[in-house]
Structure 1
Amino acid sequence: MRGLKDKTFLVAGGATGIGAATAKRLAAEGACVAVGDINIAGATATAEHVAGSGGRAIAVEFDLSDTRSVQHLVERTIAEFGGIHGLHNVGADLSEHNLGRDTTILDTEMDVWQRTLDVNLLGYVRTIQAVLPHLLEAGGGSIVNTSSGAALGSDPQHVAYGASKAAVNHLTRHVAVNWGTHNIRSNGVMPGLVMGETQERQNDLALQQAFLMFGKTSRLGTPDDLAAVTTFLLSEEAEWITGQVWYIGGGSHLRQ
């Protein structure tokens, strides 16, 4: 894809799943990639896979809920590659202790709300605040935030998660509106049911069957499906696309 070769992209949440697949796809297109994650073993594995395929990547341990940690990730990326041309936000707290206790508004404890918003929403605020000045200094760049189909309000559970992802959609458009004329593009992707490591481990057959019933294709999603779209949005092929949040989910939501 045009405009990726020898550019540097920061994948904030690249240890597994969509983030890892996107890091690998960006590298395959000739980009340099900084793979940040709280799961440093997974981030290292992603970076090593890139290096083994002839690409350039580093792994950096960081925590979306820690501003100093986010700043270190950005500084480490610039020190290694000389700059940043794009950001892919894909991290979220999907732990059983957090997401597993996220049910309805009457039953979800405040600590779950606080943790979910601190990571899923404010974590993206932290990365954008840290990266945006460098993109502006470089004359432009691209940001792609990972939201969720849950932002469309179809899940009767996971109220905090859905609310955090709906807020990410607004954050995405906010950046596009304010800095579009400075050559900053900001878009988002809302994955449907993607069979990454977490979904494979949970193996929720009822959820999978329900998704297939409402979908308009014959299969569930894969991390590579999202990686292809995200890489396109980060590339110069999408230079006239900004402020958009695309649902990528096999047609399970038909919407404009």
Structure 2
Amino acid sequence: MRGLRGKRILVAGAATGIGAATAARLAEEGVRLFLGDINEEGVRGTAERTDAGVARFDLADADSVAALVAAAVEHLGGLDGVANVAADLSPGTLGNDTALVDLDVAVWEQTLRANLLGFALVGKHAIPHLIAAGGGAVVNTSSAASWAGEPVRPAYAASKAGINALTRHIASAYGKDGVRANSVSPGAVLSETALATMSAEFQARMLAAVTVPRLGQPDDLAATICYLLSDDASWVSGQVWTVNGGGGFRD
């Protein structure tokens, strides 16, 4: 892809799944990388495979997010792009995100603190460096849950819908400074976490709902994220790209 080689990019959430696949694809494109994740062992493994700088960080901790961006800038000498892929998918959070009438305030607070405020804080600290570099790109990871109207996971869905609004704000507020912002919205992707939690029956239902004859792989999202970070997407901003194998066509 045009313009990726030599770029300095932070991938927040790179231990496994889409984040790890994105780091690998960016490394293939000649990107200089800095990676972060709460899963320190996993992200260090990804860093070793991609010759990247690395730090452990907690998306739900404001000081930790600030330290991640600072470490990336120090290691890379600046910043040209950010891929936000991290999310709190832990059983204690996502597993307790049940129907609204059973709302647990602590679950909602943790979900929004990590999945939405965490992304906003990455932007707060990264955008000045993107502007200083003459412009750059932010790619946020959303979810089909932001529009699907699922009967469970309302906090998760709300956090992802908020990410889409945040993305459009960044595109609008900082576009004239050369900063582009887009979201990718994955459908059913067979990441390590998904494979550990999705039953064969659920996978079959998801496969029946798409028009492509397979479910998604992390590499599918990695390719889209890399494109949106590249100069090939220099006129794409403020968009939410649904990448889901043709499931549920939307205008």
State the TM-score, normalizing by the size of structure 2. Answer: 0.98
Q: In structure 2, what residue type is equivalent to 1:189?
A: V
CA distance in 2: counterparts of 1:92 and 1:2, whole angstroms: 29
1:28-63 CA distance string (max 9 Å, x none): 100011110011111100011113xxxxx1111011
More moved, 62-71 vs 7-16? 62-71
2:58 alignment partner, SS class: coil
1:86-120 CA distance string (max 9 Å, x none): 00111111111110011111112111100000000
Partner of 1:3: 3
Query: 1:196, CA displacement in angstroms?
Result: 0.4
| Residue 45 of structure 2 corresponds to residue 45 of structure 1 | yes
Q: In structure 2, what residue type is equivalent to 1:171?
A: L
CA distance in 1: counterparts of 2:119 and 2:202, whole angstroms: 28
Superposed, 1:68-217 pairs within 5 Å as 68-217=63-212
Partner of 1:249: 244
Which consecutive segments of 4 or more residues in structure 1 shift more than 2 A?
none
CA distance in 2: counterparts of 1:110 and 1:68, whole angstroms: 23
1:118 alignment partner, SS class: helix
Query: 1:206, CA displacement in angstroms?
Result: 2.5
Query: 1:78, CA displacement in angstroms?
Result: 1.6
CA distance in 2: counterparts of 1:109 and 1:205, whole angstroms: 29
Q: In structure 2, what residue type is equivalent to 1:214?
A: A
1:118-150 CA distance string (max 9 Å, x none): 000000011000100111111100000000000
1:106 alignment partner, SS class: helix
1:185-209 CA distance string (max 9 Å, x none): 0000000010001011113222211
1:165 alignment partner, SS class: helix
1:169 alignment partner, SS class: helix
2:140 alignment partner, SS class: strand
CA distance in 1: counterparts of 2:127 and 2:75, whole angstroms: 18
Q: In structure 1, what residue type is equivalent to 2:123?
A: I
Gaps in structure 2 of 5+ consecutive residues: none
CA distance in 1: counterparts of 2:124 and 2:205, whole angstroms: 38
Query: 1:253, CA displacement in angstroms?
Result: 1.9
CA distance in 2: counterparts of 1:198 and 1:67, whole angstroms: 25
Query: 1:7, CA displacement in angstroms?
Result: 1.0
Partner of 1:222: 217
| Number of aligned positions between the proteins | 251
Q: In structure 2, what residue type is equivalent to 1:77?
A: A
Root mean square deviation, CA, Å: 0.9
1:63 alignment partner, SS class: coil
Q: In structure 1, what residue type is equivalent to 2:162?
A: A
Partner of 1:54: none
CA distance in 2: counterparts of 1:253 and 1:10, whole angstroms: 32
CA distance in 2: counterparts of 1:170 and 1:203, whole angstroms: 29
Query: 1:66, CA displacement in angstroms?
Result: 1.3
Q: In structure 2, what residue type is equivalent to 1:26?
A: L
Partner of 2:227: 232
Query: 1:255, CA displacement in angstroms?
Result: 1.2
CA distance in 1: counterparts of 2:128 and 2:59, whole angstroms: 18
| Residue 36 of structure 2 corresponds to residue 36 of structure 1 | yes
1:72 alignment partner, SS class: helix
Query: 1:3, CA displacement in angstroms?
Result: 1.0
